[in-house]
Amino acid sequence: MATVAPSRSPLRIYLEMIKVEHSVFALPFAMIGMMWGSLAAFKTAWPGAWTFGWIVVAMVSCRSAAMAFNRIADRDIDADNPRTKMRALPAGLLQLRQVNLFFYASCAIFVLAAAMLNPLSLALSPVALLVTLGYSFTKRFTPLCHFGLGLSLGIAPAAAWIATTGRLDWPILPITFAVIFWSSGFDIIYALQDEDFDREHGLRSLPVSIGKARSLLVSRIAHFLAVGCLVAGGMMVGAGPVFFAGVVAAAGLLVYEQSLVKPQDLSRVNMAFFTLNGFVSIGVFAFSLADVLLRR
């Protein structure tokens, strides 16, 4: 059994376990939901340090709980997959009881953060946990599992809107669906590299069910819908031209992302999955922030 290398601190192992760098996918869109909600409710994009701080705590803790739960649920599968066998649990870098403790602590912090925000956030916190944790099991019974991941990330802007305003309003729904389609699309791309493994182990990914070429087509349709939802969301909140320029830039990145991956060539999946999608989320947020500041 592998042991912890001296050069890797326990903190680094925990951060690697929850893939903290992947926070760039959902957190920027949560910040957009916060800004737009604050503008709608209070005529200012800044809801205050209290709300901002607890939204960040809620986002980080909910995502940490979801990732820890995924590692617990998939520990035997990860041990068999050459791509994932060096993750913390199968490699013996962390014990199951340690990850369980981390999971329960993350859930508790998330519920506390929701309680600190407003009653509706607290009331919906079990629903948010159910959605984000439930994704871990979807691959066992449905090829639509990628849309389960999309939903778990897509609720971020709506959750931040609720955290800021204390209510759920129609204008935040298009960007919620934008994140659902966008993240589902890139998760399908990521799943291409595990098609053979998933088939051998009875897992129900989309590539297993319909093949690489058709899965890529579904991914492209999802990304097309994501761009359309971003446009609709901007129109519903009265965003300015700078925001829509950001949508055009994001659309260009998604087109480039799709061009990197072919059914017979998966060599650039990691670049398509992480690098470009990080640029998409941070870029859309940056243009959204600039749009808000320029329209003040």
191 pLDDT more than 80? yes
Q: Confirm whether 2 is domain-assigned.
A: no
Residue 3 has pLDDT above 50, yes or no: no
Is 229 in contact with 172 (CB distance < 8 Å)? no
pLDDT, one tens digit per residue, over 174-187 is 999 999 999 999 99
> In the 3-class helix/strand/coil scheme, how is 12-30 assigned residue by residue?
HHHHHHCCHHHHHCCHHHH
> What is the reported pLDDT for 7?
56
Query: How confident is the prediction for the chain on average, in pLDDT?
Result: 94
Q: What's the pTM?
A: 0.94
Task: Give the integer Cα–Cα distance in Å for 128 and 43.
Answer: 27
Residues 6+ apart with CB under 8 A from 170: 236
d(CA 109, CA 180): 25
Tell me which residue range forms the domain holding 25: 18-291
**284 part of a folded domain:** yes
Burial class (CB in 10 A: 0-12, 13-18, 19+), 37: buried
pLDDT in tens, 252-264: 999 999 999 999 9
**Residue 283, domain member (yes or no):** yes
The answer to whether the beta carbons of residues 117 and 51 sit under 8 Å apart is yes
Q: Is the pLDDT of residue 1 over 50?
A: no
Residue 9 included in any domain: no
Nearest CA to 195 out of 287, 261, 123 is that of: 261
**Does 150 map to a domain?**
yes
Report, as an integer, the average pLDDT of 279-291.
97
Note whether residue 5 is domain-resident: no
Q: What percent of the chain has pLDDT over 90?
A: 89
Pick the closest to residue 257 from 156, 171, 179, 182 (CA basis).
182
pLDDT in tens, 8-67: 688 889 988 988 877 889 999 999 999 999 999 999 999 999 999 999 999 999 999 999
Tell me whether residue 223 is in a domain.
yes
Q: Is the pLDDT of residue 6 over 50?
A: no
pLDDT at 250: 98
User: Does 296 have pLDDT greater than 50?
Assistant: yes
Helix 119-138 crosses helix 145-165 at what angle (to 10 degrees)?
Answer: 170
Question: How confident is the model at residue 274, as a pLDDT?
Answer: 84
Place of tokens 């035997």: 76
Is 139 a residue whose pLDDT tops 50? yes
Q: Is the pLDDT of residue 5 over 50?
A: no
209: CATH: 1.10.357.140
* Res 60: pLDDT: 94
pLDDT in tens, 81-135: 999 999 999 999 999 999 999 999 999 999 999 999 999 999 999 999 999 999 9
Return the pLDDT at 218. Answer: 98
Total tally of structural domains belonging to the chain: 1
Assigned domain for 115 exists: yes
DSSP letters of 223-236?
A: HHHHHHHHHHHHHH
